[in-house]
Chains A and B, each alone.
Chain A
Amino acid sequence: MSRSWTRSNAAASALSAVTALALLTACGGGDGDSSDAGKGTADKPVSLTFWAWQKGSKDVVDAFNASHKNIRVKFEEIPSGNAGGYAKISNAVKAGNAPDLVAVEYPMLPEFVSQGALQDIGPYLTDDVRRKFLPQAVDLTTLGGKSWAVPFDAAPQTYFYRKDFFEKNRIEVPKTWAEFRTAAQKAKEADPKARIATFMPDDPTTFEAMAWQAGAQWFKAEGDTWKLNTSDAATDKVADYWQGLIDDKLVQTAVSFSPEWTAALKDGSTVGYLGASWGAGVLKSTLPDQSGKWGIAPVPTWDGKPASGMLGGSTWAVTKGSDKAAAAVEFATWMSTTEDGVRARIAPGTSSAFPADVSLRPAAKKAFDAGFYGGQDIYGLFDAAGASINPRWSWGPTTGTTNTTLKDQFGKVPGGSVTVKGAVEAAHDATVAELKKRGLKVEG
């Protein structure tokens, strides 16, 4: 009896989330050794805490600690952003016990900035450093004229496919979305179970990357007004296209990186994956038995000319409460812009990160063992794809709301009770409502 939750006080349980928050607030103290704003010395090193989930992060931290005396980095692995990592970060910031440096993907950066969870790192980021990065990555981390994060990787969308399956069934690797659909049909004819891609209802960013590629611009800042446009021709085109693929059962449906998705890849019923540069490491570590069978192609485009949106991509940001911003930025810059930092991450083999620092790509290429892809020059491909990232796109300050709504609605798409277009409309309405609730000006 006493173990039953029915006995607990209804009100108290309903408020449990808030209770947890209250306790967090009560327990959250300062950061311990403060007044250490400087960069630290070998005698008196600064200690930093760093939260991330990106593959190879632990290796980078070990390499940094081994080669630096003035800064000690303590790494703590957290769940990936969408799987609870972001909630963990915002709660820690609210509670006042946040780490100094955190990983934030480009889409979520504006949300964190608007919550006031991060600090402006402009003073510590020199122009020399800034110039090293892909301009699109710098744009996405500069909000309201201030720099909020050190870009780490660029994540151009790419298409992964089972080379052996495509060759055996004489299916051409699609260059356009029209060819992609044809390839999907051919694959299904060759093997009724085979699908060349997966619709991931939990992952709105793949859809957003495609809208981005097609030229959509959901969030646009004009003066101090947000102009929201999700019903443009480009977004509609992408929505209709996916609706068609789903209705005609030309794509698999599975949660991203779920056991279901992995099982379908392993038994060969899923023979393709619309991912991004970092996906090369994911596939390689998920499917060691299929080494040599995979190839990578640029993501198909609408008109055959190279174009890409970005699917995820990580940055390092300093939390508001940290008084060690200088040291945190020094470490973040080392991870993002030095050969040692990039090599330490990629060499262990799980990460295929594509550095936003253009000059480091040869080092990244050398560090990544591309045997899984039959020795293909995948970094050369990422390079071309990275240059084709459409620079017009920017993310709004309410990505949390936009993407949660989109995710909720996408879950209903495979069952047919909501269309892809309907899902986008719902996300639009929720975003407008959220912006208004925060007291921001919005049109659309």
Chain B
Amino acid sequence: MAAKARTSRRTGAAAGVLLAPFFVLFTAVTVVPIGYALWLSLFTEKQSGLGFGGAESVFSGLDNYTAALGDRAFRDGFWILLGYCAVYIPLMVGGALALALLLDSGLARARRFFQLALFLPHAVPGIIAALIWVYLYTPGLSPVVRAMDSGGIGFSFFSSGGSLPSVVNIALWEWLGYNMVIFYAALQAIDRSVLEAATVDGAGAWRTAFSIKIPLVRASLGMVALFTVIGSLQLFTEPLILNQGSGSAVTSTWTPTMYAYTAAFARNDYGLAAAAAVLLALAAALLSFAVTRLTTRKGARA
């Protein structure tokens, strides 16, 4: 009895020692900042007179939350995200899957090369990618815009209508190859005997792709969809570069993360920024929950 208790106490201690670094770091870089953000979001800076007497931090309850939700710019950010997801996710998932199926099919030559070439853009940091694309979008500088103009396609990437396609294009360029690799790995993992059986039964390449391969990689489809949705909620770097460096119609509050950033660093309203960030985190949590539920249920049925 005593020996058993001692062993379990010892395992407990070992677990404690091994887990401690994680919990210390987790507390320091995740729990504390989130707690601080929640705390900040309950205060607002109030001034008196003409406002030149300095500011005083006052407890304001949920005022920052109502201010954020009442601000059209903040709500518009979510609509923009919705539009972004509606355009981006089908293109991304469809495109990555199509490329992966192509690579996996008998048609492909030089597989390793294409795998690497398609993945390469992902190795470029997002901020650099955005800067490159801003250059390629800028009329007067960009060879692409010049070529389009002389081909009779006058498209302004910086106009209001052009903002969404411009950002979607940058994101696709960065992420298509990455997700393609995930799908390709899943396709490679399919038991070859299943595919052989399908061929023996007379299924062509198309039929195999749609009836065998895609259903079998459904789990990775769900995973990519989940990551892409959450990634979309954090859309920040690319539109920020478009906003600051190009004079495009992308505003400084284009997405909710940009709204929080601008509130803190252009308007010096840290309370509002914290409230906006908390609201966004809540939205992200809800959405992740919904997507996970949806995809696992689908997976169970398959």
Quick one: which of A209-266 are within 8 Å of B by CB?
A: 221, 224, 226, 253-255, 258-260, 263-264
Decide if B160 is an interface residue (CB 8 Å cutoff).
yes
Q: A407 contacts which of B52, B54, B252 (Cβ < 8 Å)?
A: B252
Report A101 CB to chain B, min CB distance, Å. Answer: 19
Whether A114 contacts B52 in the complex (CB less than 8 A), given A14-B233, A412-B160, comes out as yes
Contact stretch, chosen from B101-109, B194-202, B206-214, B269-277? B269-277
The chain B residue sitting closest to A200, CB to CB, is B247
Q: A21 contacts which of B67, B264, B267 (Cβ < 8 Å)?
A: B264
Decide if A285 is an interface residue (CB 8 Å cutoff).
no
Q: A224 contacts which of B34, B49, B272 (Cβ < 8 Å)?
A: B49
Decide if B220 is an interface residue (CB 8 Å cutoff).
no
* Chain B window 30-63, contacts with chain A (Cβ cutoff 8 Å), 1 for yes, 0 for no: 1011101100100011111111111100000000
Are the C-beta atoms of A404 and B50 separated by less than 8 Å? no
Whether A253 contacts B247 in the complex (CB less than 8 A), given A17-B260, A110-B52, A264-B140, comes out as yes
Give Cα distance in the complex from A14 to B32, angstroms.
14
Decide if B249 is an interface residue (CB 8 Å cutoff).
yes
Q: B247 contacts which of A14, A94, A202 (Cβ < 8 Å)?
A: A202
Are the C-beta atoms of B285 and A10 separated by less than 8 Å? yes
Are the C-beta atoms of B140 and A22 separated by less than 8 Å? no
Decide if A438 is an interface residue (CB 8 Å cutoff).
yes
Are the C-beta atoms of A417 and B249 separated by less than 8 Å? yes
Decide if A383 is an interface residue (CB 8 Å cutoff).
no
Decide if A4 is an interface residue (CB 8 Å cutoff).
yes
Give Cα distance in the complex from A408 to B248, angstroms.
9
Q: Chain A residues with Cβ under 8 A from B49's Cβ?
A: 144, 224, 440
Decide if B188 is an interface residue (CB 8 Å cutoff).
no
Q: B33 contacts which of A18, A200, A414, A418 (Cβ < 8 Å)?
A: A18
Tell which of B54, B67, B256, B260 has the most Cβ of chain A within 10 Å: B54
Are the C-beta atoms of A4 and B178 separated by less than 8 Å? yes
Q: A115 contacts which of B55, B244, B261 (Cβ < 8 Å)?
A: B55
Whether A201 contacts B281 in the complex (CB less than 8 A), given A144-B50, A407-B252, comes out as no
Contact stretch, chosen from B3-11, B223-231, B292-300? B223-231
Are the C-beta atoms of A116 and B54 separated by less than 8 Å? yes
Report A418 CB to chain B, min CB distance, Å. Answer: 8
* Chain B window 226-252, contacts with chain A (Cβ cutoff 8 Å), 1 for yes, 0 for no: 011011011000000001111111111
Are the C-beta atoms of A263 and B140 separated by less than 8 Å? yes
Report B301 CB to chain A, min CB distance, Å. Answer: 25
Q: Chain A residues with Cβ under 8 A from B280's Cβ?
A: 14
Decide if B284 is an interface residue (CB 8 Å cutoff).
yes
Are the C-beta atoms of B284 and A18 separated by less than 8 Å? no
Give Cα distance in the complex from A37 to B145, angstroms.
59
Are the C-beta atoms of B55 and A440 separated by less than 8 Å? no
Contacts between chains A and B (CB distance < 8 A), count: 197
Tell which of A19, A91, A224, A433 has the most Cβ of chain B within 10 Å: A19
Whether A397 contacts B228 in the complex (CB less than 8 A), given A11-B285, A254-B247, comes out as no
Report A60 CB to chain B, min CB distance, Å. Answer: 28
Whether A224 contacts B50 in the complex (CB less than 8 A), given A14-B280, A263-B140, A434-B267, comes out as yes
Whether A17 contacts B252 in the complex (CB less than 8 A), given A90-B268, A255-B247, comes out as no
Q: Chain B residues with Cβ under 8 A from A412's Cβ?
A: 159-160, 249, 251
Report B56 CB to chain A, min CB distance, Å. Answer: 8
Are the C-beta atoms of A439 and B227 separated by less than 8 Å? no
Give Cα distance in the complex from A116 to B140, angstroms.
43
Decide if B29 is an interface residue (CB 8 Å cutoff).
yes
Give Cα distance in the complex from A434 to B228, angstroms.
35
Decide if B13 is an interface residue (CB 8 Å cutoff).
no
Decide if A129 is an interface residue (CB 8 Å cutoff).
no
Report how many residues on chain A are interfacial, defined by Cβ distance under 8 Å: 68
Decide if A292 is an interface residue (CB 8 Å cutoff).
no
Are the C-beta atoms of A255 and B270 separated by less than 8 Å? no
Decide if A15 is an interface residue (CB 8 Å cutoff).
yes
Are the C-beta atoms of A144 and B52 separated by less than 8 Å? yes
Report B128 CB to chain A, min CB distance, Å. Answer: 15
Are the C-beta atoms of B158 and A10 separated by less than 8 Å? no
Q: Chain B residues with Cβ under 8 A from A91's Cβ?
A: 265
The chain B residue sitting closest to A438, CB to CB, is B47
Give Cα distance in the complex from A259 to B136, angstroms.
12
Decide if A42 is an interface residue (CB 8 Å cutoff).
no
Q: Chain A residues with Cβ under 8 A from B115's Cβ?
A: none
Decide if A13 is an interface residue (CB 8 Å cutoff).
yes
Q: Chain A residues with Cβ under 8 A from B266's Cβ?
A: 87, 400-401, 404
Are the C-beta atoms of A9 and B30 separated by less than 8 Å? yes
Decide if A326 is an interface residue (CB 8 Å cutoff).
no
Report A125 CB to chain B, min CB distance, Å. Answer: 17
* Chain B window 139-175, contacts with chain A (Cβ cutoff 8 Å), 1 for yes, 0 for no: 1110000000000000010111110000000000000
Report A4 CB to chain B, min CB distance, Å. Answer: 7
Report B30 CB to chain A, min CB distance, Å. Answer: 5
Give Cα distance in the complex from A186 to B87, angstroms.
45
Q: B281 contacts which of A15, A224, A400, A437 (Cβ < 8 Å)?
A: A15
Give Cα distance in the complex from A18 to B39, angstroms.
11
Give Cα distance in the complex from A247 to B153, angstroms.
21
Decide if A170 is an interface residue (CB 8 Å cutoff).
no
Are the C-beta atoms of B245 and A18 separated by less than 8 Å? no
Give Cα distance in the complex from A88 to B35, angstroms.
24
Whether A14 contacts B52 in the complex (CB less than 8 A), given A6-B230, A404-B267, A440-B47, comes out as no
Are the C-beta atoms of B140 and A10 separated by less than 8 Å? no
Decide if A123 is an interface residue (CB 8 Å cutoff).
no
Decide if A415 is an interface residue (CB 8 Å cutoff).
yes
Are the C-beta atoms of A415 and B159 separated by less than 8 Å? yes
Are the C-beta atoms of A113 and B261 separated by less than 8 Å? no
Are the C-beta atoms of B277 and A87 separated by less than 8 Å? no
The chain A residue sitting closest to B64, CB to CB, is A437
Quick one: which of A1-42 are within 8 Å of B by CB?
A: 4-7, 9-15, 17-19, 21-23
Quick one: which of B102-148 are within 8 Å of A by CB?
A: 135, 138-141
Q: B273 contacts which of A17, A22, A113, A418 (Cβ < 8 Å)?
A: A17
Q: Chain B residues with Cβ under 8 A from A202's Cβ?
A: 244, 247
Tell which of B53, B141, B249 has the most Cβ of chain A within 10 Å: B249
Give Cα distance in the complex from A11 to B280, angstroms.
8
**A-B pairs, 7 with minimum CB distance:** A415-B159, A116-B54, A144-B52, A6-B227, A408-B251, A11-B281, A201-B247
What are 14 sample pairs from A and B whose C-beta atoms fall under 8 A apart?
A6-B228, A10-B284, A13-B234, A14-B234, A14-B280, A87-B266, A90-B265, A114-B52, A115-B55, A202-B244, A254-B247, A437-B67, A439-B46, A440-B51
